[in-house]
Amino acid sequence: MMKTLILCIDRDNDFGEKAGVKSPMIGRVDNLNAALSLILKDPEDSDANAVFSGISTYDNLLKAGEDVEIATICGNKDVGEASDNILMKQLDYVISKVKPDDVVIVTDGAEDEFVIPLVMSRVKIRTVKRVIVRQEKNIESLYYIVVKALKEEKFLKRVLAPIGVALLVLGISMLIVMAIRIDLFGWGTLDPATSGFIAVVTAIGIYFLGKAYSIGKKVSAGLDRITEEFLYTRITVFSFLIAASVFSYGVYLGYIAALQAVNVGLSIILLLYRIIPFTIIAIIIYDLGRIIESFTLYEKGRRRQILITYLMSAGYSVSFAVAVLGLISFVTAGFQAISLRLTYDRIAFALTVIGMASGIIISIERKRYETKHREILQESRVAQKDSGKTEL
């Protein structure tokens, strides 16, 4: 007798994110418990209803005398390549356990159906069942839809992020045009209405981007982390303070240089030209503190891996700053005397090539290294968080 697998797909891992359920779930009992856990956490989630529908299909086929099993596979909240890779690993595991001849796919929307070709490459698909959750008409108001959408991380990144980028680019572009006009024709050309419009558009763009990527929460978490590090007197606290002081001094020198420039364009160039070298020094100082601290946190066997990680992180940041410095040097060369332009162009070309090449190489090697030593690096993050607490 042929064996059929009822396969429910949760591409964005709502079961794991909302209900804390580990996947894959194989068998009627595990799937029923998982669906109940999710529906209790979020009664409006359609993935739970899809699993209920899958269980119903399982029961019907079982009553008809067919050999059938049910399983649910989950991806990752960051929907895309990483999520699909997780889904395929779980699918391969389920297939090795169940050994089905065909599958009945149960999904709650078009997003999950992107995985169908990947499933088809591994096992024969018998049919695809789409589950649509009906709602009462009195809650299908615009207010309800908007409020619910603003709580969904996927909606924020797909809709608000592009709008925020567009508004921010518009605001910055208008600001640059206005600065050039003021530089050429004086402050008398400043239009209050245009200034207000630029401020509003830019503010909305920044708000949308902040909302889409939860920047407020990340800033709050960062401040909490800094506070904890101050309380536990970590070495990185002092290296951070020194690095911040160096960076602030660079900003000050850049500001002084910008005030002496003859136009707005040159002011911006001189500001960046002064800031970037001090930014590189600040990065090196901060990562040097992290490296020194690693010798106090980890055993000898682990220090080498952590040291390599910190060096790669610092190297990538420095290479990026060097490349930017090189690109700015190309522009700066145009403001130099003719006798010095060739020298500036050579320096700019060397900095740009070295920065970009080293950045690409370090980025590739860091990704490989982190993939190879994922468990060790995860332990290092935990050790960093707990080190201060153990000292107390």
Domain extent listing, the chain: 3-134, 153-213, 217-391
State pLDDT tens for residues 190-245.
778 888 888 899 899 888 888 888 787 778 777 777 666 655 556 777 888 898 99
Q: Is the pLDDT of residue 253 over 50?
A: yes
pLDDT in tens, 89-145: 999 999 999 999 999 998 876 566 678 888 888 899 998 887 765 554 444 445 555
Q: Output 101 or 153, whichever has higher pLDDT.
A: 101
Percent of the chain with pLDDT over 70: 80
Q: Is 356 strand, coil or helix?
A: helix
Task: Provide the 8-state DSSP code for 335.
Answer: T
**Would you state the pLDDT for residue 268?**
80
Give the pLDDT score at 367: 76
Question: Is pTM beyond 0.85 here?
Answer: no
Maximal CA-CA distance, the chain: 90
At 335, is the pLDDT very low, low, confident or very high (cuts 50, 70, 90)? low
State how far the alpha carbon of 192 is from the alpha carbons of 128, 187, 195, 197, 324, in Å: 59, 11, 5, 9, 34
Residues in the chain: 392
Taking 80 as the threshold, does the pLDDT of residue 300 lie above it?
A: no
User: Where residue 4 falls among pLDDT bands split at 50, 70, 90?
Assistant: very high
Fill in the amino acid letter for 175.
L
pLDDT bucket at 388, cuts 50 / 70 / 90? very low
Residue 51's pLDDT is: 92
Predicted confidence band at 391 (pLDDT cuts at 50, 70, 90)? very low
Q: How far apart are CA 391 and CA 340, in angstroms?
A: 56
Q: How far apart are CA 153 and CA 112, in angstroms?
A: 17
Region 69-81: mean pLDDT is: 86
DSSP string, 155-203: HIIIIIHHHHHHHHHHHHHHHHHHHHHHHHH-GGG--HHHHHHHHHHHH
From CA 216, how far away is CA 212, in angstroms rounded? 10
Query: Predicted confidence band at 390 (pLDDT cuts at 50, 70, 90)?
Result: very low
Q: Is 212 exposed, middle or buried (0-12, 13-18, 19+ CB in 10 A)?
A: buried
